[in-house]
Amino acid sequence: MDAMDREEALRSRARRVLPGGTFGNFPGDVILSHGQGGRVWDVAGREYVDFLLGSGPMFIGHGHPEVLEAVREQLSRGTTFFANNEAGIALAEAIVEAVPCAEQLRYVSSGSEADLYAMRLARAFRGRDRIVKFEGGYHGMSDYGLMSLAPKQLANFPQAVPDSAGIPRAVRDEVLVSPFNDLDAVTRLVEARHEEIAGIIVEPLQRLIPPAPGFLEGLRALCTRFGIVLIFDEVVTGFRFAYGGAQAYYGVTPDLCTLGKVIGGGFPLAAVVGRADIMALFDRAAVGEDRFLMQVGTLSGNPVAAVAGLKTLEVLRRPGTYEAVFATGRRLMAGLEAEVARAGIPAQVVGEPPLFDLVFTEGTVGDYRATLRADRAMAAHVNQVMRAGGILKGDSKYYISTAHEGRDIDQALDAFRGAMRSLPGRAA
């Protein structure tokens, strides 16, 4: 069986045993075999520049030799214990030292879990039930998280719209929704209903959209004014925008934040971190039975993930690391903008140098509803043509890694030029 036949056989096997033929993440027509640095290969042998990066975790690239060595050493000592281990303690210390809001930490295994527990912590700490989130913000797969992420019907604020079947109707009443980057709107909401609100959860960079000047600062002041818990969802941005995360990059410190992706070095690991007085609710002896928040996870603080995360953070601390990532990202951003300008296509790059995409629309993209103006069909076509040119990315993100090189950016821009030429009405 040649490589192409093997690939098709695997797709057929996947369709038999997986709903939709996928793991629920990336389209099932792509079946990856291995990765190295900033590139991956599929089972048919096609090579891609990888801007997907496993949806973000592989920030220092695939198969980093120092991470692999640390993992191999730990594997011989044990893979999981359901008890404290030295690597997990050391990683917690490194995170607390790095992240401005972090005084204590509790591990979980996924970003969805981290967001779920952060919201539960806010409710337990405040003794209130309602959470404010921003339309278009992604906070994992919990019932609370899947409110107004990508509503198919736009509702009047602050009404929440469930994004999935199977969510109890009652949950809708516990989530209040506001437009991102509209400080006046969220201020009016909180002023009117602050006695009901436990916390405000926000992605400091919402999917791709940077915060407007003063927006995060205004949220911080609003939460301080009313004693509401401010949660930054940094599952994506943590250790990506700066060693201290987006809160260090933007200069605004929340009460709690959630981390994932980068801190596991490619293994399942996430965490809730924050103020010690809030994190104390995880400690029965400190707060008593009535206020105790139960949290147990079979793989929480897994030592293999912890050593991978520790080594990843060590690599990121080295001089010049973030400067190089930002330079790489800026070069690709500028190249994409130049190409759409040359083609006369209304489009703009939205995001920050380590994480961004091209949005095919005119006007400012400052919130979820602005993204609905984008030409999604054009974006899908461009992504498809670029994949044929050896560029792998998600539907709406370029993730930049420390492993990406100049030749990777050159190839991406060449593929993008080909995609521009392939658009209807363009010269071949």
What integer pLDDT is reported at residue 423 of this predicted model? 87
Q: What is the pTM of this model?
A: 0.96
Q: Quick one: average pLDDT of 266-294?
A: 97
Please tell me which residue in 233, 255, 367, 408 is annotated as part of the active site: 233
**According to DSSP H, which parts of 180-320 are helical?**
183-193, 215-226, 246-250, 276-279, 284-287, 303-316
| % of the chain with per-residue pLDDT over 90 | 95
Across residues 156-164, what is the average pLDDT?
93
Percent of the chain whose pLDDT exceeds 70:
99
**Active-site hit among 261, 311, 393, 397:** 261
Does the structure show a pLDDT above 80 at 424?
Answer: no
Angle at 145 between CA 144 and CA 149, to 5 degrees: 120
Output the average pLDDT for the chain: 96
Nearest alpha carbon to residue 90 among 310, 292, 276: 310
- Give rounded-to-5 percent helix, strand, coil for the chain: 40, 15, 40
pLDDT of the residue at 4? 87
- How far from the centroid of its chain's Cα atoms is residue 9's Cα? 32
Domains annotated for the chain, with CATH where assigned, are 31-63+319-422 (3.90.1150.10), 65-316 (3.40.640.10)
Indicate which residue of 48, 107, 138, 399 is catalytic.
138
pLDDT digits (tens, 9 = 90+) for 2-50: 888 899 999 999 999 999 999 999 988 999 999 999 999 999 999 999 9
Which amino acid would we find at residue 183? L
Taking CB atoms within 8 Å and a gap of at least 24, the contacts of 369-376 are 369/135, 369/136, 369/154, 369/179, 371/136, 371/209
Q: What is the pLDDT of residue 350?
A: 97
What is the tens place of the pLDDT at every residue in 329-369? 999 999 999 999 999 999 999 999 999 999 999 999 999 99
pLDDT recorded at residue 3 = 85
> How far, in Å, CA of 207 to CA of 351, rounded?
8
Would you call 133 a catalytic residue per the annotation? no
138-159 pLDDT, tens digit per residue, is 999 999 999 999 998 899 999 9
Residue 426 has what pLDDT? 62
Residue 428 pLDDT more than 60?
no
